[in-house]
Amino acid sequence: MGLTAPAEHRTVAYAPESQEGWVATRLDFLVNWARANSLWPMPFGTACCAIEFMATAASDFDLARFGMERMSFSPRQADVLICAGRVPFKLAPIIRRIWQQMPQPKWCISMGACASTGGMFDNYAVVQGIDTIIPVDVYVPGCPPRPEGLLYGIRMLQEKVKNERAADAGTRDEMEPDPNSQLYIPPSVIDELGEPFGNSVNQTRSGL
Amino acid sequence: MTRFEVVRTGDNAPAGQPVTQRNVPHRGAEANPSANALQERFAAAIKRVEVIWGETVVYVDPGSVREVIRWLHDDASQRYDFLSDVTAVEYRDAEVPIEVVWHLRSLPFRRFLRVKAQIPKGMPLEIDSVYDIYRAADWLERECYDMFGIRFRGHPDLRRILMWESYKEGFPLRKDFPLRGRFSRSEQLRQALAQNPEARYSMEELTIADAFAELPQDMRERLSKGERTGE
């Protein structure tokens, strides 16, 4: 009962010359508009940046204005991974698994100096920037960034989402480095480039 | 009936109430009475007693640490019933041996005692565990092992606690450990990503082990085959 519409309701009649009841637009625009204004964040807060993130979500700054009021604590229902705080090596496989569990389309905001570069924790335990583990769309600088800074980063991400095109097939590909590619840089060379002042093995604390 | 109890502190404090000490000298303040009691009872094992900023440090022979701490815990005149911390110190001066430190607190007598044992140079970094006296020593000793490489004899489950299980670079708080680790950054990242984040829980740690009998049949089968990871 009620599952099948009566015959007179199965078709919709409209007059093309009428301006009411329909709208013509680009599909990309419509999809991106919907996506950009309903980004659900997956908060990955590990340090003081998470406190600023909570302040951003609270009523003073009100993340809900941008369609983000629903914190998705399950990665499977999230659109944006917001990494707020330093990531130690022990957490590296965990944040990567959380990223892999998020469905496409997905984006990532690296919030704060530690998540973006390792910050002041240039030591044995901390990942030197989460972009060595997962792709990052927006870096928010600051130690920690103020809520205005995070909101600016979120607005930038919304701009990025609004300018995506469904025709770009490569946008959503997860690329693994191909060792046979001409552009491939082996890890040893990356280490040399990343540590211009010598191997970390030779650097001890206190000048010993 | 008063709604608030007025707590008077400092010079106005009533007799018997703990007072915050003032003008404590760097060295030579009054020692904790437990230090004298220890020297009377374990004369040979107590190497020396120092009082630094009003806190008593007792240097104990590494072989008799367990005996001393057992007595401090059990004796009716001491009753050190709370183990605050187990840690170690390595000094910048390579001649000074590594010290293992126990912070003991006696709640009934309001006493604090710091027990230190110096592991002589050239000896293996081993010392007796106090796990059977204080259960709190479990994770504290694991942390001390993880950071300094000191093996606690008699600890039931001595393995890394802060770093992951397969960490191969050594013991980070030792003075010969480079600040950025021994391996290159890309190698560190490769090894970190290769770890299995769920493999560090032993079956004893999982509360699921306690409820094994009530688990569903398929889960019991999976666990009994030795499968330890979730998902």
Q: What are B196-211's pLDDT values in tens digits?
A: 776 655 555 556 556 6
B2 in any annotated domain: no
Query: Could you tell me the CATH number of the domain that includes residue B131?
Result: 3.30.460.80
So what's the pLDDT on residue B124?
92
B172 in any annotated domain: no
Spatial contact of B68 and B38, defined as CB atoms under 8 Å apart: yes
CA A100 to chain centroid, in Å, comes to 12
So what's the pLDDT on residue B230?
47
Residues of chain B found within 8 Å of residue A191, distances taken between Cβ atoms: 184-187
Q: How far is B125 from chain A (nearest CA, A)?
A: 21
B4 in any annotated domain: no
β-strands B82-89, B126-128 pairing: unpaired
Spatial contact of B66 and B128, defined as CB atoms under 8 Å apart: yes
Provide the number of structural domains found in chain A: 1
Q: Is A90 touching B (CB cutoff 8 A)?
A: yes
B171: closest chain A residue by CA: A124
β-strands B46-52, B55-60 pairing: antiparallel
Residues 6+ apart with CB under 8 A from A143: A112, A113, A114, A119
What is the mean pLDDT of the segment spanning B110-134? 93
Provide the number of structural domains found in chain B: 1
Distance CA A40, CA A42 (A): 7
Q: Which of A86, A98, A124 to mutate to test the interface with B (most CBs of B within 10 A)?
A: A124
Q: Do B180 and A89 touch (CB under 8 A)?
A: no
A74 in any annotated domain: yes
A130: closest chain B residue by CA: B189
Residues of chain A found within 8 Å of residue B169, distances taken between Cβ atoms: 124
Residues of chain B found within 8 Å of residue A203, distances taken between Cβ atoms: 178-180
Spatial contact of B178 and B162, defined as CB atoms under 8 Å apart: no
Distances (CA, A) of B16 to A111, A146, B8, B19, B55: 53, 49, 12, 9, 20
Q: Do B185 and A208 touch (CB under 8 A)?
A: no
Q: Which of B185, B190, B198 to mutate to test the interface with A (most CBs of A within 10 A)?
A: B185
Instruction: Give per-residue pLDDT as tens, A11-23.
Output: 777 777 777 777 7
Percent of chain A with pLDDT over 70: 88
Establish whether this prediction's ipTM goes over 0.85.
no
B170: closest chain A residue by CA: A124
Query: Could you tell me the CATH number of the domain that includes residue A36?
Result: 3.40.50.12280
Q: Is A31 touching B (CB cutoff 8 A)?
A: no
What is the mean pLDDT of the segment spanning A49-66? 92
Q: Which domain holds residue B53?
A: 24-161
So what's the pLDDT on residue A206?
43
A98 — pLDDT class (breaks 50, 70, 90): very high
Residues of chain A found within 8 Å of residue B92, distances taken between Cβ atoms: 206, 208
Q: Which domain holds residue A145?
A: 24-166
Q: Do B189 and A123 touch (CB under 8 A)?
A: no
A188 in any annotated domain: no
Q: How far is B55 from chain A (nearest CA, A)?
A: 28
What is the mean pLDDT of the segment spanning A97-101? 90
Give the number of other Cβ atoms within 10 Å of residue A99's Cβ. Answer: 21
Distances (CA, A) of B192 to A91, A125, A203, B185, B197: 8, 10, 21, 10, 9
B229 in any annotated domain: no
A4 in any annotated domain: no
* Cross-chain CB nearest to A93 (options B92, B188, B192): B192
* Cross-chain CB nearest to B195 (options A93, A125, A202): A93
Distance CA A102, CA A73 (A): 11
Helix ranges (H only) for A21-102 are: 27-36, 48-57, 92-101
